[in-house]
């Protein structure tokens, strides 16, 4: 029996705001849009937090699912061959953590927050 990774799903407070952020600001292509669930190309998905929490936990739904979801414990990582151009396109439209920097392992990246406070990193391919 084999196990295959399908996608990561980020819980978001407002699916409309987050869908717009990832589609229009970051330029990700939407593959499926089911209202409270949006799947983008390359195995990345968003789900309205409260609806997903009720689906997962039912009546034992944890409190706070209507609050912003970013807790500085998740980093959403993307790569691009056009790092400087992508940075120039989005730097004024996001809350930057830092501009383009070389990391200790040699890769060049920049980081910012999405509308829920999840950390997003865009780097050059290794």
Locus of tokens 């500085």: 72
Name the pTM for this structure. Answer: 0.84
In the chain (126 residues long), the average pLDDT of successive 10-residue segments reads 82 94 96 96 91 80 69 85 96 97 96 93 93
Radius of gyration of the chain (CA): 16
For the chain, the straight-line distance linking the first and the last C-alpha, in angstroms and rounded, comes to 32
Residue extents of the structural domains in the chain: 8-123
Q: Which CATH class is domain 8-123?
A: alpha beta
């Amino acid at each position: 029996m084999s196990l295959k990774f399908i996608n990561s799903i980020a819980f978001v407070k407002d699916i409309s705001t987050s869908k717009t952020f990832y589609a229009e600001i970051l330029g990700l292509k939407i593959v499926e849009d089911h209202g409270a669930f949006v799947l983008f190309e390359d195995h990345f998905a968003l789900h309205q937090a409260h609806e997903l929490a009720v689906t997962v936990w039912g009546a034992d739904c944890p409190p706070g699912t209507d609050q912003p979801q970013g807790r500085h414990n998740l980093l959403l990582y993307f790569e691009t061959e056009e790092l400087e151009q992508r940075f120039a396109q989005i730097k004024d439209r996001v809350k930057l953590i830092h501009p383009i920097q070389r990391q200790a392992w040699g890769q060049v990246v920049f980081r910012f927050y999405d509308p829920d406070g999840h950390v997003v990193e865009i780097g050059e391919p290794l």
